[in-house]
Amino acid sequence: MATGTLPDAGQILNSLINSILLLDKDLAIHYSNPAAQQLLAQSSRKLSGTPLPELLGYFSLNLDLMRESLDSGQGFTDNEVTLVVDGKAHIMSITAQRIQNDFILMEMAPMDNQRRLSQEQLQHAQQQAARDLVRGLAHEIKNPLGGLRGAAQLLSKALPDPALMEYTKVIIEQADRLRNLVDRLLGPQQPGLHVTQSIHQVAERVFQLVSLEKADNVTLVRDYDPSLPELMHDPDQIEQVLLNITRNALQALGAEGGTITIRTRTAFQLTLHGVRYRLVARIDIEDDGPGVPAHLQDTLFYPMVSGREGGTGLGLSIARNLIDQHSGKIEFNSWPGHTEFSVYLPIRQ
């Protein structure tokens, strides 16, 4: 049985690996443990008296909802909160409880890697189910569409008045447009031609293409890692992925303009689709536009989901499908003023 003096509350809080903050009703910090100081990159003295939101470049926590919950006498929990410190995003699980004298005790724990992996697997399964549903519907549409087009062709040959053929021409053109849309929904049906070469060849083609499309107030930046090893991939398919993402960034910047950065890096010891790889190529497309709207972030890779008026919502769905075929993954982080899509491709050695 242990003997001796029990540690006091301060010693216990200081030893925790989770971040602990004591906040007043205005969310000003009155206490921070060492883990919180490390997370927020500030000393205890600098943190004291500073409102928590002022320290963060972005904080996705719904503060009004938290206050409403605490005012009702309930605790508050949000299992996936994004906070940005010095340009770096952290995904945290946050719990808060009101204690005496109207203070708020907040605990911030980094999202467990296993939980994140489970969420990624669940999200992937949901997106695969959505793709399967769309493909099933697409096949059901293609059959009557072919019959409709064929009937219009026969009708155009039988019509005596050439002026009436304009109507059958419209039917044929619209049927072709719908078939093209259905084919895009289905995505590539055959595996691509994979070659081993530098991913920078693809990145540079995308850079050159977008350079021709961009407005003068948009700056394109290359940031390539020259040490990135070659990897096996289908250049045409990966070009389509990166081009879709970069064009989305270009459209997101709009008339205001801004900066788009194409960046490559080597990542180490990553798990992709249940397989651990020692080396992984990471390609980032970053822009400083308005960010992805919060209500779209959970479904952004679903077919037919678009944040742009007139958009088909197919670009990112197709991109994810192509990256899945490469045993890779695609993810993004976004908040106002910053969006970064990251493509991960395994380097097999």
pLDDT band at 108 (very low <50, low <70, confident <90, very high): very high
Are the beta carbons of 68 and 75 closer than 8 angstroms?
A: no
Category of 254 on φ-ψ map: left (φ > 0), alpha (ψ -120 to 50) or beta? left
Please report the sign of the dihedral spanned by the C-alpha atoms of residue 204, residue 210, residue 214, residue 217: negative
Q: What are 215-229's pLDDT values in tens digits?
A: 999 999 999 999 999
Taking the C-alpha atoms of residue 59 and residue 92, their distance in angstroms, rounded to an integer, is: 11
Residues 6 or more apart from 231 whose CB is under 8 A from it? 196, 199, 281, 345, 346, 347, 348
May I ask the CATH architecture of the domain 195-346? 2-Layer Sandwich (3.30)
Instruction: Identify the pLDDT of residue 194.
Output: 85
Lookup: tokens for 193: 């031609």
- pTM equals 0.69
In whole angstroms, how far apart are CA 153 and each of 141, 143, 163, 173, 178?
19, 16, 15, 11, 16
Residues 6 or more apart from 93 whose CB is under 8 A from it? 77, 78, 79, 80, 81, 108, 109, 110, 111
Pairing of strands 58-59, 76-85: antiparallel
Indicate the CATH number of 9-111 among 3.40.50.620, 3.40.225.10, 3.30.70.340, 3.30.450.20: 3.30.450.20
Q: What percent of the chain has pLDDT over 70?
A: 88
Q: What are 257-297's pLDDT values in tens digits?
A: 999 999 999 998 888 887 889 999 999 999 999 998 888 88
The DSSP annotation for 136-164 comes to HHHHHHHHHHHHHHHHHHHHHHH-S-GGG
Which amino acid makes up residue 82? T
Taking the C-alpha atoms of residue 44 and residue 80, their distance in angstroms, rounded to an integer, is: 25
In whole angstroms, how far apart are CA 313 and each of 156, 273, 296?
34, 25, 11
At 69, which helix (H) or strand (E)? helix 63-71
Instruction: Identify the pLDDT of residue 8.
Output: 74
Phi, psi of 176 (to 5 degrees): -65, -40
Q: Provide the angle, in degrees to the nearest 10, between the axes of the packed helices 165-186 and 113-158.
A: 160
Lookup: tokens for 151: 């009937």
Q: What are 16-33's pLDDT values in tens digits?
A: 889 999 999 889 999 999
pLDDT value at 3 more than 60: no
Map out the domains of the chain as residue ranges.
Answer: 9-111, 115-186, 195-346
Lookup: tokens for 51: 């409102």
Instruction: Identify the pLDDT of residue 133.
Output: 73
pLDDT band at 160 (very low <50, low <70, confident <90, very high): confident
Q: What are 219-255's pLDDT values in tens digits?
A: 999 999 999 999 999 998 899 899 999 999 999 998 8
Q: What are 26-84's pLDDT values in tens digits?
A: 899 999 999 999 999 889 999 999 998 888 878 888 888 998 899 888 899 998 888 88
pLDDT band at 117 (very low <50, low <70, confident <90, very high): low
Q: What are 171-230's pLDDT values in tens digits?
A: 888 888 888 777 766 666 566 678 999 999 999 999 999 999 999 999 999 999 999 999
pLDDT value at 1 more than 90: no
User: H helices then E strands: how many in the chain?
Assistant: 9, 13
